[in-house]
Amino acid sequence: MNRAFERFEAVMEKAMALQAAMALFEWDNETLAPKEADEYTAKTIGSLSEQYREMMVSEEMRGAAAACCREGGLSGTEEAMLKEVKEEMERLSCIPAGEYREFAKLRAVATGVWAKAKEEQDFQKFAPMLETIVEYQKRFASYQAKEGQKLYDVMLDSYEKDFSMEALDAFFGELREALVPLQRKAQKACADVDDSFLSADYPLHAQEEAARFLAEYVGFDFNRGVMAVSAHPFTTNLHNHDVRITTHYRKRIDSSIFSVIHETGHALYELGIRDDLTQTVLGQGSSMGMHECQSRFFENIIGRSRAFWEPIYGRVTEIFGEPLKSVALDDFLAAVNRTAPGLIRTEADELSYSLHVLIRYEIEKMLIEDDVPVTDLPEIWNRKYEEYLGVRPGNDAEGALQDIHWSQGSFGYFPSYALGSAFGAQIYFHMKKEMDLDRLLREGRLDVIRAYLRERIHQYGKLKTSRELLREITGEDFSPKYYIQYLKDKYGR
Amino acid sequence: MNRAFERFEAVMEKAMALQAAMALFEWDNETLAPKEADEYTAKTIGSLSEQYREMMVSEEMRGAAAACCREGGLSGTEEAMLKEVKEEMERLSCIPAGEYREFAKLRAVATGVWAKAKEEQDFQKFAPMLETIVEYQKRFASYQAKEGQKLYDVMLDSYEKDFSMEALDAFFGELREALVPLQRKAQKACADVDDSFLSADYPLHAQEEAARFLAEYVGFDFNRGVMAVSAHPFTTNLHNHDVRITTHYRKRIDSSIFSVIHETGHALYELGIRDDLTQTVLGQGSSMGMHECQSRFFENIIGRSRAFWEPIYGRVTEIFGEPLKSVALDDFLAAVNRTAPGLIRTEADELSYSLHVLIRYEIEKMLIEDDVPVTDLPEIWNRKYEEYLGVRPGNDAEGALQDIHWSQGSFGYFPSYALGSAFGAQIYFHMKKEMDLDRLLREGRLDVIRAYLRERIHQYGKLKTSRELLREITGEDFSPKYYIQYLKDKYGR
């Protein structure tokens, strides 16, 4: 073994421990921490974040990395870790320590400000904070930008490599052209579908029991994971033996049902990462898009199919009781696949979902590239919702304040949701050539599907890019056509 | 302001952030983490612990501390922080980095090994691990020992300054002489007390509701704290705005009732620490003894008194329902104050409690100073229980395996429990001169009692030693006579 690499690993382990600590604090903040703790805990998280940065750009890390290169003879995996660390080092070292730290502190309180503004349905109460966040993110991007690189492209790159604005403009262009008319048509066709039984007064414990059952059925391992409740469902992990998901319980039971399947899709990715990659810089999903691909594949392509529900529908309706118990499976499926333009992205049906994402992509571009003032956002937001979906938010909470992302400084994340759906459809078309997916689902053999995804995707963590994975699995480069085809097949009928 | 101190504070903040992260991981491990996470999370905790050590002994810290001394003009609080850091620096720098790290990793898995051995009631399954822990602790103590200082004295010093074996031999000597005969006599007097109603089949949710009510009544602030369930009740804190307690629910309801009051006593201490001390090296209790003083003061002196229960007994019995609802307050008090020699320290009555601690003190001395082999512990343990309490454990789970402490490497901690009780009695005698405690309790005015303790003790954190606090409050040095007097008054009748 390369001796220098051992030293490199020891330094990386420290950075990873700090990252795990930050993940735990974030989990704790969203699920449990007392409400007055914020300001003080922000100081702790800010310091951990600063220490993470210091560790990554330290002489110790640089020296260890340089020694590895000099000594040579690294394995492919070791090379990849080194490359990943160097990229992170470069990304971080161009941001001055003080600014990095100040932003980490800001970020730790910003979500609270956003949540309060949302509660009060008043975007302008969040606007000054958002303006500061946008300034930070633009400045950070300008530090990182390569010669001539646009700022929003820098941001996009941190979530999804090889997908610049140019690529995304083309991608979203195709989606818009195909989906806007498809959505209008499909919407009319299912206008009469009854979904009132989804929001009958089911007891909370039934929702909890169903959530646990579904998570386990899809493959969540409760010996290596935890499920809790938070305002905004998410998945996090400390390593591949501690993966955590959250859900929320609303009046409409499909909200928690599909959020649990979605988060379990994320969790399967993290649980499936190889042991030699977990707790290293490669111990995470390939990209945000590939992560969303896994979650949305399970939530929609699998989770809203007839074959998935056939073996478990009886059990699930037993848990909920009446009125669901008397609803035929086909009526349930029609309800959870009904397309109707709504205001809330996370509650959107599969077809209109990408239009929600498209709106955010366009707004982020305006915000970052065209310097549109933050205070204009609600109006821009509402206009775009009218244009693409034909609905107009009644207040900011169901408008520009609905998502947590911007309060976290995540600009460029949203496109991942649409890309992930498109990745998923492309993989789905290929999988169907290799196995009888419907039969497997009807027989409850989700283990075969999990094994397939683990072998081709999960195990590699960040060792391969999403484009590489797609090419290896499907034998061709990324193409949005499968996603459009999938939606046409499903909603064109 | 001293400019050098600002730099010193910045480095201290980093060390404190690492400490808070470790506290959160510990909390999470005991209350929530999935069972297969242990081994991996241990790596993270080991690394954080190593980074804490590195930060405390770093050139950065040394340089900042030295600059503060050179520049001078520090406030009293600043001086105290500097002193505390220097002591910790000295303590840590004599332990080689590798050993410190290895022990931190070991410690993170040891509790699991102990828990499993306890479950299987087999001390010998824990013995090899315990032997390694004892070796580490002795070696660490030998690194830290001053010229001629005994190893166990080094360990005692880390929990309670100014209480060496010499002082404790005298203290426990007095206790043994007074309490062994008093216990025997009192035990006979209350042999007929009926306490069967404490272990009727009360529903879990009643225990939970009572726990929450009592915590709140004693003064736990749920906006700045969290309560959860763990095998072994404990209190931890991230800072003075995030203090966490746990309890457990057993068949006997007094177990959770008094553990909640006990942990709330600890929590009040942490919640009461001044804002300029929290998140610094002085942001914790003065000593383990003073911490136990607060918890045991509320649990026993306050919490088992008639005056405490008078205003709330109706409410609490309402929560539990029958049979407790039909039990007269005096019968309830007789039951929860009944002395009967038992096997389990945490379930012990107030009078025999210190005898449990005495046994542990004597065994720790043998283990550390006389090199008694670890494998002999169960037999020694059982013999001492027969001698002092007249009972003999039927298995190791109710014998030498019952406490978590040794698995954590905490030798020298146990005496704090007895010292804390004695501190509490001394403060109690003094408080009674200044206020009508019984009347305040009967009127539900716990806020007055809390304010008194906050003003005299809590706010100072670690700024003053327990001996200093005792002297300032009571006007005299520590003396065990009040504790013995208190127990004679209570149980002599």
ipTM metric:
0.93
pLDDT > 70 fraction of chain A, expressed in percent and rounded? 100
Cβ atoms within 10 Å of B466's Cβ, excluding its own: 25
Judged by CB atoms closer than 8 Å, whether chains meet at A37 and B241 is answered as yes
Give me the pLDDT at residue B2, please.
64
Res B484: pLDDT: 96
Q: Which residues pair with B247 in a beta bridge?
A: B229
Give the Cα separation of A213 and B117 in Å (integer): 32
Contact B44 A21 (CB under 8 A): yes
Alpha helices, H only, A160-305: 165-189, 204-218, 253-272, 288-296
Instruction: Pull the structure tokens for residue B43.
Output: 């790596």
Of B47, B48, B78, B52, the residue nearest B65 (C-alpha): B78
Closest CB to B242 among A41, A226, A279:
A41
CA distance A24 to chain B (A): 8
> Is the predicted pLDDT of residue A2 greater than 70, yes or no?
no
- As a whole number of angstroms, the distance between CA B344 and CA B393 comes to 9
Question: What digits encode the pLDDT tens for the residues A399-422?
Answer: 999 999 999 999 999 999 999 999
Give the distance, in angstroms, between the CA of residue A157 and the centroid of all CA atoms in the same chain.
15
Lowest mean pLDDT among A345-349, B282-286, B398-402, B408-412: A345-349
Of the two residues A119 and B111, the one the predictor is more confident about is A119
CB-CB under 8 Å, B240 with A43: no
Active-site residue identified among A160, A263, A299, A350 = A263
User: Per the CB < 8 Å rule, is A25 touching B24?
Assistant: yes
CA distance A275 to B204: 40
Does the beta-carbon distance from B48 to A24 stay under 8 Å?
no
- pLDDT value at position A98? 87
Q: Maximum distance among all alpha carbons in chain A?
A: 70
- A33 vs B contacts (CB less than 8 Å): 226, 242
pLDDT of A216 > 80? The answer is yes
* Residues facing residue A185 across a β-bridge: none
Paired tokens of B58: 């770093």
pLDDT above 90 coverage of chain B, percent: 92
Among the partner-chain residues B39, B51, B224, the one whose CB lies closest to the CB of A37 is B224
Residue A109 is classified by DSSP as: H
Q: Do A239 and B24 touch (CB under 8 A)?
A: no
Task: With a cut of 80, say whether residue B59 has pLDDT above it.
Answer: yes
Residue A369 has pLDDT above 80, yes or no: yes
| Cis peptide upstream of residue A311 (ω within 30 degrees of 0) | no
Q: Using the predicted structure, report yes or no on whether residue A493 has a pLDDT greater than 80.
A: no
Q: Distance (Å, rounded) from C-alpha B4 to C-alpha A482?
A: 63
Residues of B in contact with A61 (CB under 8 A): none
What CATH number has the domain spanning B121-493? 1.10.1370.30
In whole angstroms, give the CA distance from residue B466 to residue B287.
6
> What is the structure's pLDDT at B1?
59
Lowest mean pLDDT among A230-234, B355-359, B415-419: A230-234
CA–CA separation, B347 vs B344, rounded Å?
Answer: 5
Q: Nearest to residue B356, comparing CAs of B340, B365, B369, B344? A: B344
Cβ atoms of B221 and B240 within 8 Å: the answer is no
In the predicted model, what is the mean pLDDT of residues A386-400? 95
What number of helices (H) and strands (E) belong to chain A?
21, 3
Distance set, CA B350 to CA A107, A410, B258, B343 (Å): 49, 56, 11, 14
Q: How far apart are CA A53 and CA A410, in angstroms?
A: 18
- Inter-chain contacts counted by CB atoms under 8 A, chains A and B: 123
User: Which chain A residues touch B if contact means CB-CB below 8 Å?
Assistant: 13-14, 16-18, 20-21, 24-25, 28, 32-37, 39-41, 43-45, 47-48, 50-51, 222-226, 238-242, 278-279
Structure tokens that stand for A137 in this block: 């993110």
pLDDT band at B471 (very low <50, low <70, confident <90, very high): very high
- Residues paired with A245 in a beta bridge: A227, A235
pLDDT at B232: 86
**8 Å CB contact between B245 and B263:** yes
Report whether A222 contacts B34 (CB < 8 A): yes
Interface of B with A (CB under 8 A): 13-14, 16-18, 20-21, 24-25, 28, 32-37, 39-41, 43-45, 47-48, 50-51, 222-226, 238-242, 278-279
Token representation of residue A164: 């610049």
* CA gap A329, B281 in Å, rounded: 61
Pair A167, A349: CB distance under 8 Å = no
Is residue A139 within 8 A of residue A99, CB to CB? The reply is yes
Of the partner residues A36, A44, A223, the one whose CB lies closest to the CB of residue B34 = A223
Residues of chain B with Cβ-Cβ distance to A44 below 8 Å are 16-17, 20-21, 238-239, 279
Q: Say what percent of chain A tops pLDDT 90.
A: 92
B104 contact residues in A (CB cutoff 8 A): none
CA distance B44 to chain A (A): 5
Q: Please give the full DSSP string across B337-367, using - where no structure is assigned.
A: T-----S-GGG--HHHHHHHHHHHHHHHHHH
Cis peptide before A233 (omega within 30 of 0): no
Paired with B245 in beta bridges are B227, B235
Residue B16 in contact with residue A48, Cβ under 8 Å? no
Mutate to test the interface with B, among A13, A26, A47 (most CBs of B within 10 A): A47
The closest CB to that of B14, out of A40, A47, A226, belongs to A47
Chain A residue closest to B220 (CA)? A34
Tell me the domain boundaries of chain B: 3-93, 121-493
A238–B44 C-beta distance less than 8 A: yes
Q: What's the pLDDT tens digit per position in A346-355? A: 889 999 999 9
CA distance B221 to chain A (A): 9
CA distance A343 to chain B (A): 33
Predicted TM-score (pTM) of the model is: 0.94
- Give me A405's structure tokens: 């992302």
Cross-chain residue pair B36–A239, CB shorter than 8 Å: no
The answer, yes or no, to whether residue A1 has pLDDT greater than 80, is: no
Q: Which of B21, B34, B225 sits opposite A224 (nearest CB)?
A: B34
Q: What is the DSSP string of A194-231?
A: --GGGGS---HHHHHHHHHHHHHHHT--TTSEEEEE-S
Residue A12 to residue A6: CA distance in whole angstroms: 10
Residue A462, pLDDT score: 97
Distance from CA of B457 to the nearest CA of A (A): 22
**Mutate: best of A241, A244, A245, partner B, most B CBs <10 A:** A241
Give B243's strand partners: B225, B237
pLDDT at B393 over 70: yes
Mean pLDDT of the region B484-491: 96
Exposure string for A278-289, b = 16+ CB within 10 A, e = fewer:
bbbbbbbbbbbb
Q: Hey, are the CB atoms on A51 and B238 less than 8 Å from each other?
A: no
Mean pLDDT of the A22-32 span: 95
Q: What share of chain A is helix, strand, coil (3-state, %, to 5)?
A: 70, 5, 30
Q: What pLDDT, in 10s, does the model give residues B252-306?
A: 999 999 999 999 999 999 999 999 999 999 999 999 999 999 999 999 999 999 9
Q: Which residues of B carry out catalysis?
A: 263
Cβ–Cβ gap A241/B40 under 8 Å: yes
Q: Which residues contact A458 (CB under 8 A, 6 or more apart)?
A: A268, A269, A271, A272, A273, A294
Q: What is the CA radius of gyration of chain B?
A: 22
Number of Cβ within a 10 Å radius of residue A340? 17
Neighbours of B493 (CB within 10 A): 7
Q: Which residue of B41, B55, B237, B240 to mutate against A (max A Cβ within 10 Å)?
A: B41
Test the A interface: residue of B36, B45, B55, B227 with most A CBs within 10 Å: B36
- More confident: A109 or B242: B242
CA distance A154 to A159: 9
Q: Which tens digits make up the pLDDT trace of B415-460?
A: 999 999 999 999 999 999 999 999 999 999 999 999 999 999 999 9
